[in-house]
């Protein structure tokens, strides 16, 4: 199997879908000749031409709005946000136009809005956000956040094939740091299905995106102390795999909810409510959240390091919870 | 429907034939009467809940534009372009069912007023965030352009909406990409209570066309023949690869913003002045003078219209309200799509 980075896996996934289905096309800023700010779409203009790899002016609202119009006409647009931070400029088109059309009048809106999110590269407050929850709170959208190269490819393919608007959060810290063997034969990873990344018995860590790797490292550290972590990678945040989450919690009896996003209104809070409501009798300790603090993402390295949940923070939280 | 795609480079001013002229008068009168029934009868009787927005006085814009659309064209009307829905094939029964929140309306009670759409009939509805349909029209036009059948997208919005960024982004994108979109501004002088001098600082919005690199033309929006002609030129241009145009239709909102708004902020003499420019008697007189239609035929049309509206209202009133259990259906499009199974009546 070929070794692919997380970024190459996304590129390959999009590429394969464009080869397979002529209704798939790309639009965004600097995605054509330049190949995108992170080069996700490098080579696509040469292969697919200007009609299918469309460089737009700087206009996130028009990019998303045009994707909606094209989707209504039977196409499958994939819109790039140069950074997911800039999705705020297209927010209205996503949450009010795209998300509500099917519920309001039954038309399918098969589109993907994708781009790099997340911190760890000293991008500062406007190139580092984990803003997935803006969309998880919007019925009608699907929200995806892969952690591995295999999943990144399989999930982008599933997102492009889905008949609903999908917001696809790539993690820029993982783009070139994750390299895995990815099958060259056809596969998709279904939306809405979590996966157990590591089996364990003492504490379930429910997480997604880059924090999956943090959780796995913490699990290695804790294993030496005899504490067994189970790591659940949600992969899709909306709709998320409630069954998998509850099964893991019931199995381990203790749970840490981990994400890079800030705490208030984060995915952890939602999961905590569901766990408390549906698996209360299976809990042997408090539901613990490990998240970023409720601040913007700071720029300077020591501040950013303090902001990000780390292996140490997860280990510390797990030790406390294990002794509860 | 007529065949799309005129010969390349053709740009003559379109002239409506007698049949089209009769249809224009019919749709003007039908729109006027249907909206009068909605805001002056059904709303007051409490049979329509929620907001009620009509396009009284500005019916000529929707009629003069949409009447020239061909199969495969797409219109994205504003909330004051009732006629566009009728011309594109929505029935009065469907529309009244929607106004009354019935289960068998096109939105099955999910959305109100004229928020109704159907791609097969070439209509994409607004959302209340006016201006959002302008970028959507660009995406539609990208696909139409690529298909190469000479089809166009018409998008309507008010002068208040032109202050929104989405209109700017869309007009710029359409011009850069030479998309077959016609941006039609229904300039009815008031955005809710805000007059034009508090909305923008130019005399005519039409000048903005030049700023984007597209033709910008103003037209008397109460003259259906003038609208037909100017919008027709823009359509012909778009069909033959000439790109987008901006048409500013000057008109006047002869009501408040909505049925609950008495429009006391509008000087009375403006209503008096604009009443004289009412688009319906203008066309009617012209057709009578040119003997295109006789008084008898007009009377027949009016009777037909009244009957159609009576029928649609009765039908809607007899139609069921949605089953509350359907509230959670259809959020996602899926293989077992709720929308593909018509509700039981």
Who among B129, B141, B173 is closest to A57 (CB)? B173
Name the minimum distance, in Å, from the CA of B117 to any CA of chain A. 6
Q: How many CB pairs under 8 A join A and B?
A: 132
Tell me, yes or no, if B134 comes closer than 8 A to chain A by beta carbon. Answer: yes
**All structural domains of chain A with their residue ranges:** 3-181, 195-322
- Tokens 């300077």 correspond to A300
**Overall number of domains in chain B:** 1
Domain spanning A195-322, CATH architecture: 3-Layer(aba) Sandwich (3.40)
- What's residue A173's pLDDT? 98
Does position A279 have pLDDT exceeding 80, yes or no? Answer: yes
Instruction: Quote the minimal CA–CA distance from B107 to chain A in Å.
Output: 5
| Cα B322 from Cα B345, distance rounded (Å) | 10
Regions of chain B with pLDDT less than 70: 1-12, 341-345
Query: Which pLDDT does position B5 carry in this prediction?
Result: 47
Nearest-angstrom CA–CA distance, A13 and A87: 22
pLDDT value for B12: 62
Q: Which of residues 195-254 of B touch A (CB under 8 A)?
A: none
How close A173 comes to chain B (CA, Å)?
31
Q: What CA–CA distances, in Å, run from A162 to A77, A93, A102, B162?
A: 11, 19, 13, 34
> B73: domain CATH number?
3.40.50.970
- Is the alpha carbon torsion for B152, B153, B158, B160 positive or negative? negative
- pTM for the complete prediction? 0.96
Residue A184 DSSP class: S
CA distance linking residue A237 with residue A270, whole number of Å: 11
- pLDDT for residue B11: 55
pLDDT of residue A304: 98
Give the pLDDT confidence score for residue B7 in this predicted structure: 46
Q: Which of B168, B257, B297, B315 is catalytic?
A: B257
- Tell me whether the CATH fold assigned to A3-181 matches the one assigned to A195-322: yes
How crowded is residue B241: how many other Cβ atoms within 10 Å of its Cβ? Answer: 13
Query: For a pLDDT cut of 90, what percent of chain A falls above it?
Result: 100
Interchain proximity B127–A97, CB inside 8 Å: yes
Q: Å from A138 to nearest chain B CA?
A: 10
Mean pLDDT along residues A200-218: 98
Q: The complex's ipTM?
A: 0.96
| pLDDT the model gives residue A263 | 98
pLDDT at B14: 82
C-beta atoms surrounding B240 within 10 Å: 17
User: Tens digits of per-residue pLDDT, A91-116?
Assistant: 999 999 999 999 999 999 999 999 99
CATH of A3-181, one of 3.30.460.20, 3.30.70.580, 3.40.50.970, 1.10.730.10: 3.40.50.970
Q: Which two tokens stand for residue B50?
A: 């929620």
Interface test with B, best of A32, A53, A56, A69 (most B CBs within 10 A): A69
- Selecting from A65, A97, A163 the residue whose C-beta is nearest the C-beta of B138 gives A65
Look up residue B173 and give its two tokens. Answer: 């994108």
Positions of A marked catalytic: 127
Mutation target vs B (from A25, A105, A137, A159; most B CBs, 10 A cutoff) = A105
- Annotated catalytic residue B265: yes
Q: Do A64 and B118 touch (CB under 8 A)?
A: no
Report the alpha-carbon distance of residue A131 to residue A137 in Å, rounded: 11
What integer pLDDT is reported at residue B335 of this predicted model? 82
Q: Which residues of A touch B (CB under 8 A)?
A: 51, 54, 56-57, 59, 61-75, 77, 92-93, 96-97, 100-110, 139-140, 142, 163-164
What mean pLDDT is predicted for residues A166-182? 98
Chain-chain contact of A77 with B337 (C-beta, under 8 angstroms): no
Name the packing angle between helices B59-66 and B279-289 (round to 10°).
60
The beta strands (E) that lie in chain B are given as 74-76, 153-158, 181-187, 190-191, 194-195, 216-220, 245-250
pLDDT value of position B342 = 59
Q: What per-residue confidence (pLDDT) applies to B264? A: 96
Kindly state whether residue B6 falls inside one of the protein's structural domains: no
Q: Is residue B12 in some structural domain? A: no
The predicted-structure confidence for A15-67, as pLDDT tens digits, reads as follows 999 999 999 999 999 999 999 999 999 999 999 999 999 999 999 999 999 99
Is B11 within the bounds of a domain? no
How large is the average pLDDT for residues A212-222? 98
């Amino acid at each position: 199997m070929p070794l692919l980075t997380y970024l190459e896996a996304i590129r390959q996934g999009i590429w394969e879908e464009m080869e397979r289905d002529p209704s798939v096309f790309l639009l965004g800023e600097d995605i054509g000749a330049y190949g995108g700010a992170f080069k996700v779409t490098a080579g696509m203009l040469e292969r697919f031409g200007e009609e299918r790899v469309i460089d737009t002016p700087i206009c996130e609202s028009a990019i998303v709005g045009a994707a909606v119009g094209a989707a209504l006409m039977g196409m499958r647009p994939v819109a790039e946000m140069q950074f997911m931070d800039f999705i705020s400029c297209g927010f209205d088109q996503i949450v009010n136009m795209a998300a509500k059309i099917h519920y309001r009048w039954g038309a399918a809106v098969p589109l993907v809005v994708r781009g790099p999110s997340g911190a760890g590269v000293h991008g500062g407050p406007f190139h580092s956000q984990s803003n997935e929850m803006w969309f998880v709170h919007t019925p009608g959208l699907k929200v995806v956040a892969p952690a591995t190269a295999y999943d990144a490819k399989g999930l982008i393919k599933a997102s492009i094939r889905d008949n609903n608007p999908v917001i696809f959060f790539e993690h820029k810290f993982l783009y070139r740091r994750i390299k895995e063997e990815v099958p060259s034969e056809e596969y998709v990873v279904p939306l809405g299905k979590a996966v157990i990344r590591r089996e364990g018995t003492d504490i379930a860590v429910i997480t997604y995106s880059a924090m999956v790797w943090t959780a796995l490292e913490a699990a290695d550290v804790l294993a030496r102390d005899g504490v067994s972590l189970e790591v659940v990678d949600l992969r899709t945040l909306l709709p998320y795999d409630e069954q998998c989450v509850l099964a893991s919690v019931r199995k381990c009896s203790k749970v840490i909810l981990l994400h890079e996003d800030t705490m208030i209104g984060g995915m952890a809070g939602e999961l905590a409510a569901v766990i408390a409501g549906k698996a209360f009798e299976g809990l042997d300790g408090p539901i613990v959240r490990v998240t970023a603090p409720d601040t913007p993402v700071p720029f300077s390295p020591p501040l950013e390091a303090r902001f990000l949940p780390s292996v140490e923070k997860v280990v510390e939280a797990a030790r406390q919870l294990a002794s509860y | 429907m007529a065949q799309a795609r005129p010969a390349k480079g053709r740009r003559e001013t379109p002239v409506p034939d007698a049949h089209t002229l009769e249809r224009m008068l019919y749709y003007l009168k039908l729109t006027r009467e249907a909206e009068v029934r909605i805001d002056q009868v059904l709303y007051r009787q409490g049979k329509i809940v929620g907001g009620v927005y009509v396009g009284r006085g500005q019916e000529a814009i929707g009629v003069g534009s949409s009447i020239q659309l061909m199969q495969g064209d797409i219109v994205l009307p504003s909330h004051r372009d009732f006629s566009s829905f009728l011309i594109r094939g929505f029935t009065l029964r469907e529309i009244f069912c929607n106004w009354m929140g019935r289960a068998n309306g096109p939105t099955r009670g999910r959305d109100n007023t004229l928020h109704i759409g159907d791609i097969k009939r070439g209509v994409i509805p607004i959302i209340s965030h006016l201006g959002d349909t302008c970028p959507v029209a660009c995406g539609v036009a990208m696909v139409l352009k690529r298909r190469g059948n000479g089809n166009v997208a018409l998008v309507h919005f008010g002068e208040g909406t032109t202050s929104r960024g989405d209109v700017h982004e869309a007009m710029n994108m359409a011009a850069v990409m030479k998309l077959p979109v016609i941006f039609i501004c229904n300039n009815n002088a008031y955005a809710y209570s805000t007059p034009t001098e508090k909305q923008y600082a130019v005399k005519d919005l039409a000048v903005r066309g030049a700023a984007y690199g597209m033709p910008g033309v103003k037209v008397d929006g109460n003259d259906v023949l003038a609208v037909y002609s100017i919008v027709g030129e823009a359509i012909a241009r778009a069909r033959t690869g000439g790109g987008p145009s901006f048409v500013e239709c000057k008109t006047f909102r002869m009501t408040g913003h909505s049925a609950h708004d008495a429009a006391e902020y509008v000087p009375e003499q403006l209503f008096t002045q604009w009443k004289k420019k009412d688009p319906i008697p203008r066309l009617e007189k012209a057709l009578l003078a040119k003997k295109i239609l006789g008084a008898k035929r007009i009377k027949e049309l009016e009777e037909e219209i009244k009957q159609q509206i009576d029928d649609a209202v009765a039908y809607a009133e007899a139609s069921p309200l949605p089953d509350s259990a359907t509230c959670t259906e259809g959020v996602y499009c899926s293989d077992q799509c709720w929308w593909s199974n018509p509700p039981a009546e």
